[in-house]
């Protein structure tokens, strides 16, 4: 079993995803700078490439992930690995995750 290289933190926000032929909306309950778990009514398959828009709390514009790959899929949940993300978007994501980490250490 492969272990994650970064910790995931509990969150609640929505995201939009686009793949071929899948388009959907979901919610995530955990996040790291390298991936997240999604719950959605849309069906996705392991290995599927997706584009994402993460609607982080208290942020007016979504963080765009150019390429995420479905690592696993089970019923209405699936795990994503972020593969390609613009440097500016990655910086925003890192700031958000750092805030989550700081909040847990208090």
Architecture of domain 9-104 in this structure: Beta Barrel (2.40)
What sign does the dihedral 89-67-98-60 (CA atoms) show? positive
Name 88's Cβ contacts closer than 8 Å, sequence gap at least 6: none
pLDDT per residue as tens digits for the range 37-69? 999 999 999 999 999 999 999 888 999 999 999
Query: In the predicted model, what is the mean pLDDT of residues 22-46?
Result: 95
The predicted pLDDT at position 104 comes to 64
Domain parsing of the chain, residue ranges: 9-104
């Amino acid at each position: 079993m492969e272990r994650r290289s970064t910790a995931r933190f509990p969150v609640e926000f929505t995201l939009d995803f686009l793949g071929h032929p899948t388009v959907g909306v979901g919610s995530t309950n955990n996040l790291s700078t390298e991936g997240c778990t999604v719950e959605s009514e849309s069906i996705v398959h392991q290995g599927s490439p997706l584009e994402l828009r993460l609607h982080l709390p208290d942020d007016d514009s979504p963080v765009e992930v150019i390429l995420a790959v479905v690592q696993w899929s089970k019923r209405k949940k699936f795990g994503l690995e972020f593969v390609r993300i613009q440097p500016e978007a990655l910086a925003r994501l890192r700031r958000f995750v750092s805030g989550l980490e700081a909040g847990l250490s208090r």
